[in-house]
Amino acid sequence: MTFSIRVRLTLWYAVVVFLIVILMGMGVFFGASWDLRRAADMELTSGIDGVATFLRHKLDIHEMNNLNEELREHSALLPRGKMFRVSHADGSVVYQPDAMSIVTPSQPSSNQTLWQNIRVGHRSFRSISRWATVGSYIFLIQVAVDQTEYAELTKHLAWLLLFTIPATTLLAGFGGYWMSGRALAPIHQITKTTNSIDAENLTRRLPLLGTNDELDRLSKTINLMLDRIAAAYERIAQFTADASHELRTPVALIRSNAELLLMDLSDKQRTRQGLADILGESEYMARLIGDLLTLARLGQGDGSFNMELFELAESIDTILPRAQSLAATKNIAFEYISDNHVLPVFGNRAALERILMIFVDNAVRYTHVGGQISLISWVGDAHCGFTIRDNGIGISPNDQEHLFERFFRVDIARTPRDGGSGLGLSIAKSLVDLHAGTIKIDSDIGRGTSFEIALPRGDMASQSLKDERLAAIAHT
């Protein structure tokens, strides 16, 4: 059986209050009883000492003949409720007041002081008895105090505690139930509002009371989390919409080409052209799907990036033949300027080659036939990297701001759909970010573009920085 937090809090509270009240009650009860007993015992001790001294005094002044009368006078001086009996060793009573006759006589052994609680009917007495040797006489002195009133008092106290403890616990239970209800009310509100939030209304947020207490901070944290989820959801929705939009054109082109071909298969020239167009479009789609997959993986951070310390120049050497043959297709002069220094990078080789190829690919694509492209590697104090410069069509300052957005392409009329999908630079940016690097653009319309990619030097980075970078990759 599971109880709600409210019921559990109430039960805990009631149990704690019950234990505290019980402890306090027991403290008061036993404390009071002990104090009363101590006061009575002190009175009895002083009483028995007083009687013994009185007897000795009587012996000293030779007045032992009329002891009964003398002791009666002495007893008149005692406070109310306190009385004594004096007997001889043979049990014969020397003196006892009427009230003392109901108190049972006691028989302590010699040298022993006997303490007794004596109950006679409804009355309670506390008594002390002891043998006293006075000259040649041996007396048994017994002093008693009437404790009936005190016994009643402690009995009343016990009854009072017996009733007040459960009553206090019950009241504490009600109070606890009410207090936990008040304390948990904001949680009910949070639960209600959170339940009403789904993909359709991700803009709804939990109300903040401005109290800055634990629950207000929890609401704030949930709101921030919802902000992040909404942003991610928005990005995914936008990405899906853009991806389907981008795929619609090539699919439509393939379809119309296929329909045209089916209408008339006799014209060999047209058939060849149509099939070539279909092939071009399907190649474009394959590239696009590949890019989309790369971006999706980067977004998920599937951990497939092995980071290592390596030479950037080696990666440049690897892509150089592909870059040169790509440039040759447009009769573009491609030069590689290396300062022959070691370029240590802590990163992923394949990712670096991908970055290089994206920039080379763009430079070739947006440079006129017969143009010029330079790839320059460099090394600085804390960074190293490469710059790729072309004398192509250039990018306006306005467009430079959006360059790294997914599917962003500068004015389609100026940059016809020639295999580019608008994903290259956004992939490059994500990969450079993973290496804690930066990209700088310098471009003028009609004069060309230069991209400078700077990466932290792998030999300078401390182990903690490398660990940080690995952790960042694991969290992307």
Among 86, 395, 431, 434, binds ligand ADP (CB under 6 A): 395
Residue closer to ligand ADP (CB basis): 54 or 404 = 404
Q: How far is the CB of 320 from ligand ADP (least distance, A)?
A: 18
Q: How far is the CB of 369 from ligand ADP (least distance, A)?
A: 15
189: closest CA among 174, 204, 170, 203? 204
Q: How far is the CB of 234 from ligand ADP (least distance, A)?
A: 21
Q: Rounded to whole angstroms, how far apart are CA atoms 392 and 389? A: 9
Task: Give the gyration radius of the chain's Cα atoms.
Answer: 52
Residue closer to ligand ADP (CB basis): 144 or 316 = 316
Q: How far is the CB of 446 from ligand ADP (least distance, A)?
A: 11
Residue closer to ligand ADP (CB basis): 347 or 394 = 394
Residue closer to ligand ADP (CB basis): 305 or 359 = 359
Q: Which residues are CB-neighbours of 62 under 8 A, at least 6 positions away?
A: none
Q: Which residues are CB-neighbours of 10 under 8 A, at least 6 positions away?
A: 173, 176, 177, 180
Query: CB of 114 within 8 A of CB of 129?
Result: yes
CA 449 to chain CA centroid, nearest Å: 50
Residue closer to ligand ADP (CB basis): 125 or 404 = 404
Q: How far is the CB of 265 from ligand ADP (least distance, A)?
A: 34
Q: Rounded to whole angstroms, how far apart are CA atoms 294 and 301? A: 10
Q: Rounded to whole angstroms, how far apart are CA atoms 206 and 202? A: 11
Q: How far is the CB of 355 from ligand ADP (least distance, A)?
A: 11
Phi–psi pair at 51, nearest 5 degrees: -65, -45
Segment lying near ligand ADP (by CB under 6 A), choices 31-39, 115-123, 329-337, 391-399: 391-399
Q: How far is the CB of 431 from ligand ADP (least distance, A)?
A: 13
- Alpha carbon distances (Å) from 77 to 39, 132, 310, 450, 453: 19, 21, 112, 121, 113
59: closest CA among 25, 51, 228, 111? 51
Q: How far is the CB of 272 from ligand ADP (least distance, A)?
A: 27
Query: CB of 456 within 8 A of CB of 466?
Result: no
Segment lying near ligand ADP (by CB under 6 A), choices 44-52, 102-110, 341-349, 393-401: 393-401
48: closest CA among 101, 92, 106, 91? 106
Q: How far is the CB of 275 from ligand ADP (least distance, A)?
A: 25
Residue closer to ligand ADP (CB basis): 135 or 290 = 290
Query: CB of 36 within 8 A of CB of 150?
Result: yes
Residue closer to ligand ADP (CB basis): 25 or 394 = 394
What residues between 334 and 373 interact with ligand ADP by CB under 6 A? 362-363, 365-366
Expressed in angstroms, the distance from the first to the final Cα of the chain is 43
Amino acid at 469: R
Q: Please, what is the Cα angle at 196 between 199 and 296, to 5 degrees?
A: 20
Contact flag: residue 219 with ligand ADP (CB under 6 A): no
Q: Rounded to whole angstroms, how far apart are CA atoms 29 and 23? A: 10
Residue closer to ligand ADP (CB basis): 75 or 421 = 421
315: closest CA among 277, 356, 275? 356
Q: Which helix (H) or strand (E) holds 309?
A: strand 308-311
Amino acid at 389: R
DSSP 457: B
Q: How far is the CB of 429 from ligand ADP (least distance, A)?
A: 9
What residues between 398 and 437 interact with ligand ADP by CB under 6 A? 403, 408-410, 415, 420-426
Sequence-ordered alpha helix ranges (H) in 266-421: 268-300, 312-328, 349-365, 397-400
Q: How far is the CB of 266 from ligand ADP (least distance, A)?
A: 38
Q: Rounded to whole angstroms, how far apart are CA atoms 363 and 409? A: 14
Contact flag: residue 177 with ligand ADP (CB under 6 A): no
Residue closer to ligand ADP (CB basis): 250 or 394 = 394
Q: How far is the CB of 452 from ligand ADP (least distance, A)?
A: 13
Residue closer to ligand ADP (CB basis): 216 or 452 = 452
What residues between 431 and 470 interact with ligand ADP by CB under 6 A? 449
Contact flag: residue 392 with ligand ADP (CB under 6 A): yes
Residue closer to ligand ADP (CB basis): 45 or 400 = 400
Among 70, 146, 242, 390, binds ligand ADP (CB under 6 A): 390
Site size for ligand ADP, by CB under 6 A?
A: 22
Residue closer to ligand ADP (CB basis): 71 or 332 = 332
Q: Which residues bind ligand ADP (CB under 6 A)?
A: 362-363, 365-366, 390, 392-395, 403, 408-410, 415, 420-426, 449
